[in-house]
Amino acid sequence: MSIGLHNSAFKNPVIRWVDSRLPIFSMMQNEYGSFPTPKNFNYFWNFGALAMINLMIMIATGIFLAMHYTPHVTMAFDSVERIMRDVNYGWLFRYVHANGASMFFIVVYIHIWRGMYYGSYKAPRELLWMIGVVIFLLMMATAFMGYVLPWGQMSFWGATVITNLFSAFPVVGDSIVTLLWGGFSVDNPTLNRFFSLHYLLPFVIFGVVFLHVAALHITGSNNPLGIDPKGPQDTVPFHPYYTAKDSVGMVVYFIVFASLVFFAPNLLGDPANYIPANPLVTPTHIVPEWYFLPYYAILRAVPDKLGGVLLMFGSILVWFILPWLDTSPVRSMRFRPIAKWFLLLWGIAFGTLMYCGGKPPEGIYVVLSRVATLYYFAWFLVILPVLGRLERPLPLPESIAKPVLRGGGPLPAGAMTKPMEKA
């Protein structure tokens, strides 16, 4: 590498001066301006950008909440209500933050599912996918600790149930729990360390997101056909094409977000969290936030505590090895006539688990949870590896540009007639 100034293409003298010494403008231009992007994205490709925006919203609102929040067991609940009542627009910040967590998970779940359907985890994007799983785990930890902060009944009892899970591990279990609690029960030290970590983790997420995007810009984006772009006829520059398309998705996202915040701010929350935490009164049903319900169902589907905990963690850890479990040479499910249905069924199993997680662990719900758990793992560990070898994929189009020009490649009819993409 030669020493000296970067050869900047910018004309504006000030930008040029900076860019020659620190080429951040060139970088932005390369990564978000002229970056060649497959031209056949559908709206599922909006969700990465949405997740990024969501993270920024969480950090921005969180910082303002933290200015008024008091992490002490005797004051936390009242301080949150004080934010709602006496801080200027405090209710707005709090409701955006609380519903923002739900929106974040909605967005990220769709983002992950998109990756599964279009095979975005496959070579060469394995590491990109794995970094994504790390982000998801960090998000879960952040959201879990955030939910403890308002110190309502569900905060307290959710924290108690979830931290207690670690005691299932032999030998080290109890020490882990003591460490999480900072004592011998969920109490003030727990609240303090959770607040500290809840403030820290989003910035860690930010760093990992940076790695995620950096890795993406090495491999380039996947696309609904799952085939690599063959040349300039297959791509468009990110700006203005995808900045424009992302803007459409962003507005729709904001409409959903605003509807929740302004018209149904407590719809996705549990009323019990408006009852101040009380260690002496156990709520009848301890349920986590909706986005954790599938894992909660898996946990309770297993009669053995340690087994349940392992399976619960395993249900996400298995995503790490997904790139190697899937043995099919084809990425997009559009060309996998059998696997497509099995994946759909997996989605239904996930939904079933979410449903059962919110129900008491008895009768039919346990049976359903067990069947769904079994299928959840069977899809990853049995169906995907085996099916990849047996299934005969449909013929792939020659290139991205080809099937798009009407009458091109041997594309199944359904793949072309997505009205949304026609725009």
Partner 1 sequence: MFRSALRALALLGAMAAGPAVAPALAQDHAHEAEELPHTHFHFAGLFGTVDRSAAQRGFQVYKEVCSACHSMRLLSYRNLLELGLSDAEVRAIAATVTVNDGPNDEGQMFERPGRLSDHFRSPFANDQAARAALNGALPPDLSVITKAREEGPQYVHALLTGYSDPPPGMTMGGGMNYNRYFPGNQIAMTPPLREEGQVEYADGTKATVEQMAFDVVNFLQWAAEPEMEARKRMGVKWVLFLVILGGLAYATKRKIWANVPH
Note the residues at the interface with partner 1 (CB under 8 A): 39-40, 78, 81-82, 84-85, 91-92, 95, 102, 105-106, 109-110, 113, 236, 240-241, 244-245, 247-248, 250-252, 254-256, 258-268, 270-272, 274-276, 284-285, 287, 290, 293, 347, 351, 354-355, 358-359, 401, 404-405, 421, 423
Within 8 A by CB and 6+ apart from 18, the residues are 24, 25
Query: Phi-psi region for residue 363, left (φ > 0), alpha (ψ -120 to 50) or beta?
Result: left
Task: Give the shortest CB-81-to-ligand HEM separation in angstroms.
Answer: 10
Give the nearer residue to ligand HEM in terms of CB position, either 179 or 200.
200
Give the list of residues 6+ apart from residue 101 with CB closer than 8 angstroms, or none. Answer: 58, 143, 146, 147, 289, 291
Tokens encoding 219:
């491999």
What does 202 bind: ligand HEM, partner 1, none (CB cut-off 5 to 8 Å by kind)?
ligand HEM
Strands (E) located in 9-130: 36-38
CB of 91 to ligand HEM, least distance (A): 10
Q: How far apart are CA 180 and CA 157, in angstroms?
A: 15
421 binds, among partner 1, ligand HEM, none (CB under 5 to 8 A by kind): partner 1
Q: Which is nearer to partner 1, 182 or 358 (CB)?
A: 358
Residues 6+ apart with CB under 8 A from 409: 395, 396, 397, 398, 399, 402, 403
In angstroms, give the least distance from the CB of 395 to ligand HEM.
43
Q: Which stretch binds ligand HEM (CB under 6 A): 144-152, 172-180, 296-304, 314-322?
A: 144-152
Distance CA 134, CA 210 (A): 12
Q: Which residue has 């998970």 as its token pair? A: 105
351 contact choice in ligand HEM, partner 1, none (CB below 5 to 8 Å, kind-dependent): partner 1
- Structure token pair of residue 207: 């760093």
Shortest approach of partner 1 to residue 376 CB, angstroms?
15
Catalytic hit among 8, 120, 221, 399: 221
Q: Does 63 bind ligand HEM (CB under 6 A)?
A: yes
Rounded to 10 degrees, the C-alpha dihedral 291/293/298/299 comes to 110
DSSP state of 420: G
Active site residue 359: no
> Cβ closer to partner 1: 10 or 355?
355
For 183, residues 6+ apart whose C-beta sits below 8 A from its C-beta are 189, 190
The interface region with ligand HEM, picked from 33-41, 64-72, 258-266, 275-283 by CB under 6 A, is 64-72
Q: Which stretch binds ligand HEM (CB under 6 A): 90-98, 171-179, 310-318, 337-345?
A: 90-98
- Residue from 336, 245, 237 nearest 44 by CA: 245
Nearer to ligand HEM, 107 or 372 (CB): 107
Give the Å distances, CA to CA, from 407 to 122, 137, 233, 238, 401: 29, 44, 17, 27, 11
Nearest to 355 by CA among 345, 368, 346, 344: 368
Q: Which is nearer to partner 1, 177 or 227 (CB)?
A: 227
For the question of residue 246 being annotated catalytic, the response is: yes
Q: Is 77 in the site for ligand HEM (CB under 6 A)?
A: no
Catalytic annotation on 402?
Answer: no
Q: Please provide residue 337's backbone torsions phi and psi, each rounded to the nearest 5 degrees.
A: -60, -25
- DSSP class of residue 269 equals S
Extract the tokens encoding 74.
């005797």
Question: In terms of CB distance, is 70 or 373 closer to ligand HEM?
Answer: 70
User: Considering the complex, what minimum distance in angstroms separates the CB of residue 342 from partner 1?
Assistant: 17
From ligand HEM, partner 1, none, interface partner of 62 (C-beta below 5 to 8 A by class): ligand HEM
Q: What whole-number distance in Å separates Cα of residue 294 and Cα of residue 348? A: 11
Q: What is the DSSP letter of 38?
A: E
| Annotated catalytic residue 68 | no
Which residue in 19, 270, 289, 326 is the catalytic one? 289
19, 246, 270, 326: which is the annotated catalytic residue? 246
Which C-beta is closer to partner 1: that of 104 or that of 195?
104
Asked if 202 interacts with ligand HEM (CB under 6 A), we say: yes
**Shortest Å distance, C-beta 297 to partner 1:** 10
Tokens 């002229």 sit on residue: 34
Contacts of residue 334, defined as CB under 8 A and 6 or more positions apart, other chains included, come to: 118, 224, 225, 226, 340, 394, 412, 414, 415
Catalytic residue, from 111, 198, 212, 245: name it.
245
Shorter beta-carbon distance to partner 1: residue 82 or 370: 82
The distance of closest approach from Cβ of residue 156 to ligand HEM in the complex, given in angstroms and rounded to an integer, is 13
What residues are annotated to the active site? 217, 221, 245-246, 289
